[in-house]
Amino acid sequence: MGFNVASQYKLLRGWSMRLYAPSSVSRVAASYHVTAAHLCPEDSSRKTAVKRRLKSFSVQQKPGVTEGWQQRERSVQNKFHQPEIPLLQGQNHKRGRDSKMSSELRKLCLDDFPDERERQDRHKSALDSRAENFEIVFGIAPCLMALTQGRRKTQKLFVKDGETSSRASVVKVCEEAHLRGVQIHRVSKRDMDKMSSGGVHQGVCLQASPLSYLTEDPAPSGKDTGTPLWLVLERIQDPMNLGAILRSAYFLGVDRVASSLHHSCPLSPVVSKASSGVMEVMGVYGYKRLEDMLKVKVAQGWQVVGTVGPEAGEARVPVTRCSDFKMTRPTLLLMGSEGEGLSQELRSLCQTLLTIPAGRELFPGIESLNVSVATGILLHSLMSSGRSTRSRPRK
């Protein structure tokens, strides 16, 4: 038995009303809207796909919906789309169950998108990079030496994200860190610049315990063999100068570097970088009173050699060109501060004063050399003069 037009219309209208009931539309719209706007607000492609699905759902599947019902459906959709901006911003949003759910949804979003979770973890690690009792060593050589020498307690290695992490030198540092169980974190260039305080980090920073001056009794036991040379530094305050001095001293074979503790710069990461990692290898001894140590060494037969500029003026001890001096017995070479040179207390203990002759007539105001450059020249001159009587350099 066939249906008349009125029966067909009633049947079609009842089926349409059940299929497109407001509760169903609200559940569908709310489901898609929460997924797109709350779980992954940054995923624009997913939001676009959701909108397309909703559009297709409303256009293709509703041939029998009346004009009045279309207006009602649009009002329902608008109801769910209006709160999108304040929800994404997280402001003017009531606390309680809704905010708790939002937090949980955001946590799920991080689990679904590891790149975002890793970015936040890296940021948290960078903020923790200046933990108490630790400092940041930066640069390829300092980090590598700090890891291999074992003088520091190492905690975390930070590597700049990007192509830098694939360089052979960086990979080697990472391998050493991995062998020693040191955590490795990728961080942005901005975070790494902050950790190194703007220093040239070369893409790696190491969180490690600080190094301090070594201490010992002013009158150490035991006898030195051969013709040892100690470098004694008084009040070197520029970390770049100290780093350069340590690098030259290590390269040229100095047996020991000693420094005054007062009015001297600490053994900081800047010093380590300036020394190209030598500070991690070569221990520096600190003395509260250099005078006491020098007196002990003089009693043991050592000679104390100081330094002065070309304009030495009156001096109670002989002034000799460094090229004319011959090192024939254990020697202590004294280098003074950048501005004032050796103090009167240390100069009074010197048996000879060395000077570096200039190769030309100098203009007033530029008669001297940088202390690190002068130290390198004097050390090389002394080493060359005493090479035949020196034993193999010791660490």
Flag whether pLDDT at 57 surpasses 60. Answer: no
Q: Give the Cα separation of 251 and 262 in Å (integer).
A: 26
pTM: 0.66
* Domains and their CATH numbers in the chain: 5-112 (no CATH), 119-208 (3.30.1330.30), 229-385 (3.40.1280.10)
Strands 183-187 and 154-160: parallel
CB 259 within 8 A of CB 285: yes
Q: Give the Cα separation of 348 and 332 in Å (integer).
A: 14
Among residues 230, 355, 333, the alpha carbon closest in space to that of 285 is found at: 230
Percent share of the chain, pLDDT over 70? 60
Flag whether pLDDT at 36 surpasses 60. Answer: no
pLDDT of residue 129: 45
- DSSP conformation class of 231: E
Q: Give the Cα separation of 70 and 77 in Å (integer).
A: 11
311-320 pLDDT, tens digit each = 665 667 889 9
